Amino acid sequence: MTIDPTELILLGLWLVAPAVVLGLMVLYALHQRFGERLGLRPWRAASLLVVVGIAFTALLMAHGPAGLVRALGVRDLRILGWYTMWAPLGFVAEALALPVALWLGRGR
């Protein structure tokens, strides 16, 4: 079976999507709680979180040590009798991207 580049990109985005959504929810909660004090611009921080999180995921997959990718690679998860894939590496990348997005998402 051959996979073309478009399918590979869509599969990668599917694997990172749950981590991105969770990261955006955490960013929203932080903005509601500390937004005024941090001077956080929510749209800038959210877009940075998505872009930096996907970039970190790609970098960790491409240049990470083999043990890291093997330990945090793609897993199958059964939800209500249906199997779907998820990647713990996406959650690690989003956790690394959150402080960067908070730092660069501050306004003047």
Task: Report the pLDDT value the prediction gives residue 25, as an integer from 0 to 100.
Answer: 94
Q: What is the DSSP string of 63-95?
A: HS-HHHHHHSS-EEEEETTEEEEE-HHHHHHHH
Q: Rounded to 10 degrees, what is the CA torsion of 106, 54, 50, 82?
A: -150
Domain ranges of the chain: 6-104
- What tokens appear for 102 in the block? 């908070």
Across the strands, what pairs with 106?
Answer: 40
CA gap 75, 32 in Å, rounded: 33
- Residue 69: predicted pLDDT: 64
pLDDT of residue 86: 73
Contact 40, 105 (CB under 8 A): yes
39 burial level (CB within 10 Å; 0-12, 13-18, 19+)? exposed
For residue 99, the model assigns a pLDDT of 92
- Given a cut of 70, the residues of the chain with pLDDT beneath it are 1, 69-73, 108
